[in-house]
Each structure stands twice: as C-alpha cells, then as structure tokens.
Amino acid sequence: MASAVEAQAAAQAKAAKTAAAAKAKAAAAKKAAAKKAAAKAAAKKKAAAKAAAKKAAAKAAAKKKAAAKAAAKKAAAKAAAKKKAAAKAAAKKAAAKAAAKKKAAAKAAAKKAAAKAAAKKKAAAKAAAKRAASWVHPVRKYTLSAKFAQAGGMWQSTHSGQDFAVNSGTDVVAAHGGTVVKAGPNGAGDGPAYGNAIVIRHGNGTYSQYAHLSRIDVRVGQVVRTGQHIARSGNTGNSSGPHLHFEIRRTADYGSAIDPVAFLRAKGLSL
C-alpha cells in the first residue's frame, strides 16, 4: 500500500516536473518569439528611420542643389545686367567723348576758318591800302563825264581817256610818283585837241596823261611824288567845257591808252 502511494506520488511528481519543464520551455519559446519580434520591429524601425533619413537627405540635397542653381542663375543675371549697364555706360561715355571731340574739332575749324578769313581780310585791306597809297585820284570832288572808248564827234575815233568834270583852276595832282616826260601846249606833242598837257612816266612801263589844263606847273625831267600838285584844270584844246582829261598809257605817246578807270580800281581806288 505504501509502495503504491509512493509510486503514485513519484508519478505525480514526475508529471509535475514534466509539466513544469513544458511550461518553462513554452515560456522560453514565448520569450524567444517576443525577443525575435522585438528585434524584427527594431530592425524594421531602424530601416524605416534609415529610409526616412535617406529620403530627407536626398530632399535636402535636391533643395540645396535647386537653391544653388537659382543663386547661380540670379548671380549670372545680375552679372549680365551689370555687364550690359557697363557696356551701355561705356557706349554713352564714348558717344559723349566723340561728340565733344567733334564739337571741339568743329569749334577749332570754325576758329581756324575765322582766323584765316580775318587774316585774308586784313591782308586784302593791307593790299588795298598799299595800292591806294601808291595811286591817288588826279582831282578831287569830280563828276565822271566822257568815258574811255566812248564814241563821239569830238574825237578822231573813240575817247582815249576818262574825263573828270571839274571847275577851271581845280588842283591837278600826279596820280602816282614818276618823271615828267612831256609838258606843254599842243598836247605836249600829242596834238592840239589835248590843249595844254602833261605826261608822267611811272614804273613798269606805265604813263599817265593830264590834258585841257589851264596852267602847267612842272617841267620835263622833273621828278614828282604821288599826290604832288602839277597843274590846274581848264578848258584848253578840243573841249566843250572845263574838265580834266586823264589817260593811262603803255607809252608816252597817243594811241597806247588803256581804260584808266579799270586801272585805278585795280589799284584800290573807287571811282
């Protein structure tokens, strides 16, 4: 009876031990499964975190790249605008410089032209003054009457000089300095039509003649200066009224006369 009880107790103890072992094994398996699930969840979480970090890094890199690209574009646009503005300013400056240079050149040219014109005018005035000083009118306060080469019944062909209508006794002067080569009545050898006359020889083969004089105050061979008194006007010879008959000749004799008005004007005199 005691053995049965002992055997039963032993069996029960064994069964309890086996159950405890099974329970412990199940608990261990459960613990291992929980640990494995936790590890899997941690790995999944880590992978998700890693993927999120990678995605965030990629997004940040893309954003940084886009920002850098935008900054570069902005900088390029700014540089281009600056370059364009500089080119425009340089062109404007160059245009202003060219305009100023052109204006200065025009001003200098105008100044030079004005100076040249002034010099030319001065030279012309000087030349005219020189010519005027070298030749003078043979009488003062006159009226031009019969002209050179004028046709008329009082002359053999045409008029050989220019008549200066003045009162008898008017002062007659040498139109230019020279030497008296003819002086006297009968046209001083040129004919009675001239009345009392004088012929003066000047330089360069030029002669001046003064006719119809009332009085002769110089002699042949006498040297006279420009503007010197030589006679008094009159109405001698073939004359219709008191006047001075004036000629410019190429020789001392009749027949070599040229237009005296044109000659005197060329010397700067106004008639």
Residues with catalytic roles: 243
Cβ pair 271, 137 in contact under 8 A: yes
166 contacts: CB under 8 Å, gap ≥ 6:
139, 141, 142, 143, 233, 242, 243, 244
- What is the Cα–Cα distance from 217 to 206, expressed in whole angstroms? 21
- What is the Cα–Cα distance from 149 to 195, expressed in whole angstroms? 20
Q: Which of 266, 267, 264 is nearest to 162 (CA)?
A: 264
Q: Residues in the chain, how many?
A: 271
Q: Which of 99, 245, 231 is nearest to 174 (CA)?
A: 231
The structure tokens listed for 242 are: 């008191």
Q: Which of 174, 185, 173, 189 is nearest to 212 (CA)?
A: 185
Sign (positive/negative) of CA torsion 113, 119, 120, 122? positive
Match 């006719």 to its residue by tokens: 211
Q: What's the DSSP call for residue 176?
A: S
Q: What's the DSSP call for residue 257?
A: E
